Amino acid sequence: MASSHTVLMRLVASAYSIAQKAGTIVRCVIAEGDLGIVQKTSATDLQTKADRLVQMSICSSLARKFPKLTIIGEEDLPPGEVDPELIEDGQWEEILTQPCPSQYSAIKEEDLVVWVDPLDGTKEYTEGLLDNVTVLIGIAYEGKAIAGIINQPYYNYQNNEKEKLREHGNEAQAGPDAVLGRTIWGVLGLGAFGFQLKEAPAGKHIITTTRSHSNKLVTDCISAMNPDTVLRVGGAGNKIIQLIEGKASAYVFASPGCKKWDTCAPEVILHAVGGKLTDIHGNALQYNKEVKHMNSAGVLAALRNYEYYASHVPESVKNALIP
């Protein structure tokens, strides 16, 4: 039966189930109480047991079903045996009922590059800001992000706060009946699903930006946009969700700290609903397997009125950020 579906839609359906498994792993690591934190390049660049286990789960699960894929994950992990319990073989059947956009129907497995961020918002995860955390699986073809899956392991977390505190006395644990987590997915030319699209208040400039990687370039760029409000939160996935749910009108990050695995999946979701994500110069981001991993010219994104924000980026900021 599976052979009657296109490679792309089978991959998206599998990635959806794999992302849900990833969300469960993220919650389990917290529940067990040992995050296994290691510092990578700096005090704000961390890796946890969840980062490691989720990347092993996603990459191994995808590689088993799609052996010709190019898969690029954030974490540099040594090769080795993967616990069978980390493998997810399922696929989300509902996705297979959707038509594959005609321009992608003949894509071969070996033509696709998958960018994986096993835990976007790791620093926030270690600090208990769990609603900032996402798992990102982005799929690219000919350098362009065309399909994406975002799992929010702790979606609904704030709504369950009182219940959790009452049952456990610990804000980082969920009650046994708490309905936590959701998975958002999208394919260019088909749409994005798993959330309710909402626009930010008209006429307001609500800018979401980095919580832990700010600098003078970032603040100069935001100031030039005359913001009504600035939201400082963790995770690129989280920031794009703020755009599509009307909590922010632009995502501005005038700094080279963001990577391809941070933006590939979220970009698809935003583009699928009519938004736009580029670097600070307005260039499209490239996702072919040979590309450098760093988004060295920053990120600028908006659901609506992208041109307003693009036109307000100072020349001094553009000159400082080389694509």
Per DSSP, 291 falls in state S
- Annotated binding residue 131: no
Q: Which two tokens stand for residue 129?
A: 């800001």
Report whether 262 belongs to an annotated binding site.
Answer: yes
Residue 51 annotated as catalytic? yes
Nearby residues of 104 by Cβ (< 8 Å), 6 or more positions away: 6, 8, 141, 146, 187, 189
The residue from 89, 111, 122, 220 that is catalytic is: 122
Q: Is 89 an annotated catalytic residue?
A: no
Question: Is 117 within any annotated ligand binding site?
Answer: yes
The DSSP bridge pattern shows strands 299-302 and 250-253 to be antiparallel
Distance separating alpha carbons of residues 303 and 245, to the nearest angstrom = 10
Residues in contact with 248: Cβ distance below 8 Å, sequence separation at least 6, in sequence order? 200, 206, 207, 208, 231, 239, 242
Following CA atoms 69, 112, 11, 151 in sequence, which dihedral angle do they give, to the nearest 10 degrees?
A: 100
| Catalytic member of 6, 45, 48, 51 | 51
Q: Which residues are annotated as a binding site for Mg(2+)?
A: 74, 117, 119-120, 262
Annotated binding site: 74, 117, 119-120, 262
Active-site annotation, residues: 51, 122
